[in-house]
Amino acid sequence: MQRQPVRPFRSRDWFADPARSDMTALYLERFMNYGLTPAELRSGRPIIGIAQTGSDLSPCNRIHLDLARRVRDGIRDAGGIAMEFPVHPIFENCRRPTAALDRNLAYLGLVETLYGYPIDAVVLTTGCDKTTPSGIMAASTVDIPAIVLSGGPMLDGWHDGELVGSGTVIWRSRRKLAAGEIDEEEFLQRATDSAPSAGHCNTMGTASTMNAVAEALGLSLPGCAAIPAPYRERGQYAYETGRRIVEMAYEDLRPSNILTRESFLNAIRVVTAIGGSSNAQPHIHAMAKHAGIEIAASDWSEFGYDLPLLVDVQPAGRFLGERFHRAGGVPAVMTELLGAGKLDGACATVTGRTVAENIQGRGATDREVIRAFDTPLKEQAGFLVLTGNLFDVAIMKTSVISPAFRERYLERTGMENVFEARAIVFEGSDDYHHRINDPALDIDENCILVIRGAGPIGWPGSAEVVNMQPPDHLIQRGILALPTLGDGRQSGTSDSPSILNASPESAVGGGLSWLHTGDVIRIDLAAGRCDALVDEAEIARRRGEPAPPIPASNTPWEELYREKTGQLSEGGVLDFAVKYRGIAARTPRH
């Protein structure tokens, strides 16, 4: 007897609707032109989508073009029918004016595909930064069974016997270039050496962070996130993921059965323990919003800040993806958190088992890379959430703050964690690059570099530009980092001590819009405050001045994005879109 799904497959409505056999013929016939048979499509087996994010334009995810074969094998062996389709490309490093525009665009496209075609369940192929949240956001909106398959990081990069990690090597080499220690050729060679194979960034940048988040949320097979792209296990996980999604289709195990406030809090905790990217903040808020779950900025302080850094991977630590995987990857980190009572082990996952059941017996195998909870690399390593007269919410990634920086800025005032700095304000990154070495700015170690016009509306899309390096003359004197502040984001691979994602942004009248070069900014980390020492009357006067300029929209999507997108503190989602949830319950009309 044929297996019956818990809920009839939605594809039946296309391929087996007795009331509309005329339409059925139309729906079926063109799939025949590559060899599928009507019998297969009408057999009652689930149609499993493979949302393909890999392409020549998405090199970080290109491994999925190969992995999809193993996914298909798994789907077939488990009794499903695979249908692979393309997702709008997202390539973090190359897309101008910023890949942040693409997260919501890929989301929209994927929602329409999953909703409008006869797809019963989907494998979300993920890798490069935004490919993970966009897929998960869409899966929540549609709410069909969905499983994440990470493409995995590249192999570890080596240069002159030294580990060189994605992105991080760029920021560090830039400083060496400015200090005159290397030339441009050496710079390019270091960058090339950091990318030795297929895969996404091998540091704990946004890509590895978001794949770890997907696993922490219970959306991938345990251990999936960290397997390097070329490893044999990657292909094996692709196969098992294909098998499992067919079961999930029969079980009708959907994102709404898995994602809860507790699972998102687990993800926040994991981000701290791995030293994860500051981009996790907007992406986690965005995914939660689309899942209909309330996550507040204060949850990062309450549940994420006071946790230790356990993973010794760049940019917060020393190693790269291969060592992290061999040390046990995300399950080992979750094991530490669970053992310390800092994880909810009862959360549901795609395996049909709980988080605690999934990670049973998967503790760390290399204590150099994944520390025990009681002997961490750093205490209190989470994001600090700040507020003040310059913004309502901004975050600071404390795990990357170097001892030298701490000493210079946080201890010299005699008041622990309080410092004041003179603001140097830039209108976006072109202005920064043109003027950073201008002697007229008189930048010294008492300055804070501020960038505005870099948020969702201003840029548009919110750019990774806040990790600004000091002027060359300071770097040559050994001052490798100044505090920075901005309404944009920073690369997850950066080790810069920055105050990021300031919301509301300057372009919508946030406090950065009235800040002047020369104003003194006071930062009190213990109180979670960041204020310009400018009195109310002066602020009111400045608010009457013309707003800082922002560039015109250059594409239709830029215009629409600006009209519909919210601030980073709220995830930068398309505000109107979050009310659409579980839309697959309503089958689209013929």
Residues that bind Mg ion (CB under 5 A): 92, 129, 206, 491
> What residue type is 401 in one-letter code?
I
Smallest gap from residue 332 Cβ to Mg ion (A): 25
Q: Does 190 bind ligand FES (CB under 6 A)?
A: no
Beta partners for 532? 521
Among 55, 93, 417, 587, the residue binding ligand FES under the rule CB under 6 A is 93
| Chain residues 30-89 in contact with ligand FES, contact rule CB under 6 A | 60
Q: What is the Cα–Cα distance from 293 to 286, expressed in whole angstroms? A: 10
Q: Find tokens 């029969």 and name the residue.
A: 250
Report the alpha-carbon distance of residue 251 to residue 145 in Å, rounded: 9
Find which of Mg ion, ligand FES, none residue 491 binds, CB within 5 to 8 Å per kind: Mg ion
As given in the structure block, the two tokens for residue 377 are: 């690399």
Q: Is 122 in the site for ligand FES (CB under 6 A)?
A: no
Could you tell me if 261 and 217 are in contact, meaning their C-beta atoms sit under 8 angstroms apart?
no
The nearer residue to ligand FES, 96 or 579, going by C-beta atoms, is 96
Q: How far is the CB of 576 from ligand FES (least distance, A)?
A: 29
CB of 168 or CB of 491, closer to Mg ion: 491
In the complex with ligand FES, the residue whose CB is nearer, 101 or 507, is: 101
Distances (CA, A) of 464 to 192, 281, 401, 532: 21, 14, 18, 23
Q: Which is nearer to ligand FES, 208 or 398 (CB)?
A: 208
114: Cβ–Cβ under 8 A, 6 or more apart, which residues? 49, 51, 122, 138, 139, 142, 144, 584
Q: How far is the CB of 35 from ligand FES (least distance, A)?
A: 34
Nearest by Cα to 218 from 120, 286, 287, 154: 287
Beta pairing partners, 85: 51
Q: Angle of helix 232-251 relative to helix 63-77, nearest 10 degrees? A: 50
Nearer to ligand FES, 129 or 322 (CB): 129
Q: Which stretch binds ligand FES (CB under 6 A): 7-15, 201-209, 377-385, 456-464?
A: 201-209
Instruction: DSSP for 547-566, please give it.
Output: PPP-PPP-SHHHHHHHHHB-
Binding partner of residue 221 among ligand FES, Mg ion, none, CB under 5 to 8 Å per kind?
none
Distance of CA 210 to the CA centre of its chain: 4
- Whichever of 64 and 289 has its CB closer to ligand FES, that residue is 64
197 counts as binding ligand FES under rule CB under 6 A: no
Nearest approach, Cβ of 535 to ligand FES (angstroms)? 44
Q: Toward Mg ion, which CB reaches closer, 92 or 102?
A: 92
Tokens of 544: 């009457």
Listed ranges 41-49, 64-72, 135-143, 197-205: which one lies at the site for ligand FES (CB under 6 A):
197-205
Q: Pairing state of beta strands 484-486 and 498-503?
A: parallel
Q: Which residues bind ligand FES (CB under 6 A)?
A: 60, 92-93, 128-129, 166, 200-201, 205, 207
